[in-house]
Structure formats: structure tokens, C-alpha cells
Amino acid sequence: MDNKEWLLKVENLTKIYGEHSVNTLDKTGPLFNSNQCPETGAIVACANIDFTLHPGEVLGIVGESGSGKSSLVNLLFFDLMAPAGSACLKGYKNDNTNILEVSNQQKRFLRNHKMGMVYQNPRDGLNFRFSSGGNIAEKLLMAGNFHVGSIRERASYLLESTEVPVPRMDETPESFSGGMQQRVQISKAIANNPPLLFLDEVTTGLDVSVQAKVLDMIRRLQQDLNIAMIVVSHDLSVIRMLTDRTIVMKNGRIVEKGLTDQILQDPQHGYTQLLVSSLL
């Protein structure tokens, strides 16, 4: 069957904070219900994470806080450094280059051309001293687009498609509501048409009507532009709505992966069963 297309291949991704011993990985994890090494006190954020993402696919990552789900996307977006393991991006160099080990200049190139990131807190993804349009322009400039007219045009197009009132594009995000800030952040993240977008708890803290609006927008962007996405959320309803496949994490490990409807209706791992049975 022809399903071997891939966009991102992650193998053995591991990130440990602090001094670790040879036993650190063996003595942490869901079995011990801890990600702290009993010998050295090191914290295991992610251990031996393996997965493949296909072009245009939406992959969910669920887990409790501290399970390593945010660390995982932060590592892939180079917000966190020095992990072990590898990640390869299709279309970058010869497809086999470990992007975690390239130079900082190359990492910037990847961030500006191949990826986008939407953080839970709009302040992490936006510069609040710049106007909303300016924030989008910044991303476009980094991606090598220097024509002011076309930048403004693209910015208004993006704001329009994320339902941010275009006449307000010269205001700073400070004067926007939380939901609007989030939509500006998404506009910025997709400004350079990245094939890969990371979304970290993007609707957490928004009220339900705004949440539905943001989720609906993400779904549309995915359908229309065929962007592959990794959606991190502790909210199973968000995962159900957006994703085809889901990874469940606990204590820095993947405890289960599968089709999203299977994870929700026939969870295999005890932790996933607890998670699903706790759903309101």
C-alpha cells in the first residue's frame, strides 16, 4: 500500500535535565510514576520518543502537565536545546539530515521557512511592541520577503482569513482580546506557508465560544492549505476534533499511540483508560 510518504521522522528523542547516570532512563517512567531519577535527581522530559508524521496529517499529543508533551514540540522547534536522538524533515537537505544537530544559522532557516509555532501564551509568539501587521511582517521578512506592498497584502489576507478585523492591523496585540491575540499568533505562524505547524495548548484559557472559533479556523487552514500539524493539548475534546492520530504521553514516555477514535473508545494503556474515563 502506498502510504510511506512522510514529512517528519523522529527517532529516540531524549531530553534529560541535570546530571544523569546510566540507570536514569531505567528508573523513571510510567512504571515508577515519576520522571525524576532516584539516584541523581535528574528530570527526564522526554525519553526515546519515536514517531512519524505524514504530510498534511494532524497528530495529537495528550498527557498531564509534566508528561513531556510541550518539551517534545519545543525540542523540535529548537526552543529547547541539546537533546539526544534525531529528527529528519523531508525536503531538507537529503532528507536524512538530523535537524537537531545542524548549526544555529540552519535552525533559524528551518524555523523561518519550514515550520511555524503557536504557543499557549500569545506573548511567547508575538512581539507586543509591534503592531499585529508588523508581527506578521517580521515573520515574512525572516523568510526573505522584502517587498513592503506584498507584505502588507499578505498580512491583511492572513488576518482576514483568521477573522481578525483588518482595519486594526496597525494596533499592537496589547489592545486585543485573548482570542484575537491567539488568531494573530496563528496568522504569524502560517505567514510563510510552512509545511509543518506546532500548536501548543492554543485554546487553553479561552472561553468556549472563542475556543470553538479558533479550533474551527485551525481545521479550515489544515483543510485548505494541507499543513501538517502537531497539536499538543491536555484537552481530549480538542484532540478529538482536530486529529486523526494521537500519542499519549506520561512521565516523558509515549505510553500509547493510535487512531484518535481508537484511543478515545478503546484505550489500551491504564493511564489512557483513566484519562478517557475522567472525561466530562
Partner 1 sequence: MEHTIEVKGLSKRFTMHILNDKVIHAIQNLDFFIKEGEIVGLAGKSGAGKSTLIKCIYRTCIPSKGEIIYNSKKFGKIDLAKADDYEILALRKSEMTYCSQFLSVIPRVTAIDVVAVSLVSKGESWGNARQIAKEYLSKLGLDEELWDAYPSTFSGGEQQRINVARAIISKPHFLLIDEPTASLDQKTKDIVINMVLDLKNQGTSVLCITHDPYTMEHIADRVIELKDGKIVEPALS
Distance of closest approach, residue 274 Cβ to partner 1, in angstroms: 5
Residue 267: CB minimum distance to partner 1, A: 9
Closest approach of Cβ 262 to partner 1, in Å?
A: 5
Nearer to partner 1, 172 or 262 (CB): 262
Single-letter residue type at 141: L
Rounded Cα gap, residues 94 and 116, in angstroms: 21
Please say which residue, 168 or 240, places its beta carbon nearer to partner 1: 240
Taking the least distance from each CB to partner 1, the nearer of 59 and 75 is: 59
Q: How far apart are CA 251 and CA 35, in angstroms?
A: 5
Cβ at position 256, least distance to partner 1 in Å: 11
- Rounded to the nearest whole angstrom, what is the least distance from the CB of residue 204 to partner 1 in the complex? 16
At 8, is the secondary structure helix, strand, or coil? strand
Residue number with CB closer to partner 1 (141 or 225)? 225
> Rounded distance, CA 129 to CA 147, Å?
22
Q: Which residues pair with 118 in a beta bridge?
A: 199
Cβ nearer to partner 1, comparing 23 with 226 = 226
Half-sphere exposure (CA, 13 Å, Cβ side) for 253? 18
Q: Which is nearer to partner 1, 121 or 237 (CB)?
A: 237
Q: Please state, in angstroms and rounded to a whole number, the distance separating the CA atoms of residues 95 and 87.
A: 10
Which residue spans within the chain are E strands per DSSP? 8-17, 43-53, 58-62, 84-89, 115-118, 196-200, 228-232, 245-250, 253-259
Cβ atoms 44, 35 nearer than 8 A: yes
Q: Which is nearer to partner 1, 86 or 262 (CB)?
A: 262
What is the binding site for partner 1 (CB under 8 A)?
1, 3, 54, 212-213, 215-216, 219, 223, 240-241, 244-245, 258-259, 261-262, 265-266, 268-270, 273-274, 277
**Least separation in angstroms between CB 13 and partner 1:** 20
| 56 grid coordinates | 498534511
Which residue's CB is nearer to partner 1, number 175 or number 226?
226
Length of the chain: 280
Residue 102 backbone phi and psi in degrees, to 5: -80, 170
| Rounded distance between C-alpha atoms, residue 207 and residue 205, angstroms | 7
Tell me how far, at minimum, the Cβ of 125 lies from partner 1, in Å: 23
Q: What angle do CA 210, 157, 150 make, to 5 degrees?
A: 150
Closest by Cα among 178, 177, 189 to 121: 178
CB of 90 to partner 1, least distance (A): 15
